[in-house]
Amino acid sequence: AAGVIQSPRHLIKEKRETATLKCYPIPRHDTVYWYQQGPGQDPQFLISFYEKMQSDKGSIPDRFSAQQFSDYHSELNMSSLELGDSALYFCASSLAVTRKGSPLHFGNGTRLTVT
């Protein structure tokens, strides 16, 4: 079965640079979520989109923005990168409404290293 695809798998940037992470959800899923996981931490929710509109917002820095496009893929844009932004970034997708619960399915993440 098709899974959530994230690109790139690894990214190395310098401080103050920008980065763009991409996420392709499971076909027919209408909701995309972004998570950040620092070393030794649990995944932290950043932001989500339903039908191309922002649906929820978590601890996403103002330097970050995201959007969902008409084909449902999503991009996380990160500017003025800081050393502390080094982390794994996961994307997940789901169906917004189902009769039997709506599990999120995660991609394998992008490992961002800021030097």
Min separation Cβ 90 and other proteins, Å: 5
Residue closer to other proteins by CB (options 22, 50) is: 50
The residue ranges that bind other proteins (CB under 8 A) are 4, 30-31, 33, 42-45, 48, 50, 55-56, 58, 88, 90, 92, 94-98, 100-109, 111
Strands annotated E in 8-115 = 10-13, 19-24, 31-37, 44-50, 53-57, 64-68, 74-78, 87-94, 105-106, 110-114
CB-count exposure of residue 46 (10 Å: 0-12, 13-18, 19+): buried
Q: What is residue 91's three-state secondary structure?
A: strand
Residue closer to other proteins by CB (options 79, 88) is: 88
Residue closer to other proteins by CB (options 17, 51) is: 51
Min separation Cβ 80 and other proteins, Å: 25
Residue closer to other proteins by CB (options 5, 79) is: 5
Min separation Cβ 105 and other proteins, Å: 6
DSSP 26: P
d(CA 30, CA 72): 7
